[in-house]
Amino acid sequence: MTEPVRVAQVVGKMVGGGVEAVVMNYYRHIDHSKVQFDFLVDSDSTLVPRDEIESLGGRVFEIPPYQHVVKYQRELQSLFTQEGWKIVHSHINALSVFPLRAAKKAGVPVRIAHSHSTSGKGEFAKNALKGFLKLFSTRYPTDLAACTEYAGKWLFGSSHFTVFNNAIDLSSFSFNRSIRDEQRAGLGAQDDTLVLGNIGRFIPQKNQLFLLDVFKAVYAQNPDSILVICGDGKLRPQAEEKARSLGIASAVRFLGQISNVQDVYQALDLFVLPSLYEGLGMVAIEAQVSGLPCICSERVPNEVALSGRCSFVPLSAGIEGWSNAILTTRTDVVNRSDPQASLGLESYDIFRAAPKLEEYYLKLFETVN
């Protein structure tokens, strides 16, 4: 039997973020007799699904954190030479310059740079580094990929790239009344309670501190409301303290990093994504699949709007503009029962998307074998 093509996936820090979730979702659904993934993760990762990866036939290699650039590249070059991968696929956005440079020096023939993100205002040092690395974004890869046209053009400019949608199992996010009732009971929400939700790591990009200010204004006008935030990260303690100082702690549910996020969507009435920037904003796609209306910042790509339920509010509208948008958005549960009928979701169906990624790898492998 022919051995599967093994692809080295450079995913950086596995900390429960969206990029590694996308890569894992594809890995779960590809044909493992044709393509296998090996994961190269930073040694300071906190949420590596090692058991699942190994059960599917993959391997996990720990490498130094990319902040130690010289050691990082040296050990990667050694690993690439030792393992002999024909394809290296890097998912760390502008930072892909470093692993793909090492891959080129090691003689890896297929080197894919994948853009999953963009940049936003306020992160000056981070944006300066991104801006510098973008100058080299097409020097070391042989092939380019992105999660959206927007993310691809941001990193690669006019160079050709292939878009791979952040696909999901649509059926697992479809609206389910019984799950909704169970989840809302656990949150302490009554039938008429307005339940808002946000899912994402507690980092500046996701802008949850602003969301808490917005929710305070919502809560002042509708005391029968709850804000649910799923995720973890360095800003979570600050967010929890802010909720207390704003006097809304009793109405905010910090659920942390959870495995049943698809069930949480069922409990919500409205999904809110005030990000400073996104490559896509996959959580808004998931929310729409579950039939939720979504309010996103104008810095979330328009490609996320797959239904008439997704609207965009500029961050410059401030607390008042955002709270008004939330309070005037229709949250009609009746319309959630069959959201897929009105959405063009085929391209986000993992059962259709995974074979396309397989074919992409196999064709690239054929060119060098």
- Reported as a single tens digit per residue, the pLDDT across 232-279 is 999 999 999 999 999 999 999 999 999 899 999 999 999 999 999 998
Q: Are residues 142 and 10 in the same domain?
A: yes
Mean pLDDT, range 121-150, rounded to an integer: 82
Instruction: Indicate if 261 and 333 belong to the same structural domain.
Output: yes
Same domain, 190 and 267: yes
Whole-prediction pTM: 0.86
**Whether residue 175 sits in one domain with residue 157:** no
pLDDT of residue 125: 58
Are 15 and 159 in a shared domain? yes
Spatial neighbors of 296 by CB under 8 A, at least 6 apart, are: 273, 274, 275, 281, 284, 304, 305, 310, 311, 312, 313
Q: To the nearest whole number, what is the mean pLDDT of the chain?
A: 92
pLDDT band at 4; cut points 50, 70, 90: very high
In this prediction, residue 135 carries a pLDDT of 84
Number of domains present in the structure of the chain: 2
Count CA atoms within 13 Å of residue 143 on its CB side: 21
Query: 222 and 101 in one domain?
Result: no
Closest CA to 264 of 228, 220, 305, 318: 228
- Give 133's pLDDT tier (boundaries 50, 70, 90): confident
Tens digit of pLDDT for each residue in 301-313? 998 998 888 999 9
Q: What is the pLDDT of residue 127?
A: 61
Q: Domain containing 200: what range?
A: 170-346
According to the model, what pLDDT value does residue 199 have?
A: 97
Verify that 157 and 177 share a domain, yes or no: no
Residue 59 and residue 147 in one domain: yes
Is residue 225 within 8 A of residue 219, CB to CB? The reply is yes
- Which CATH number covers residue 121? 3.40.50.2000
pLDDT, position 128: 67
Claim to verify: residue 126 and residue 30 sit in the same structural domain:
yes
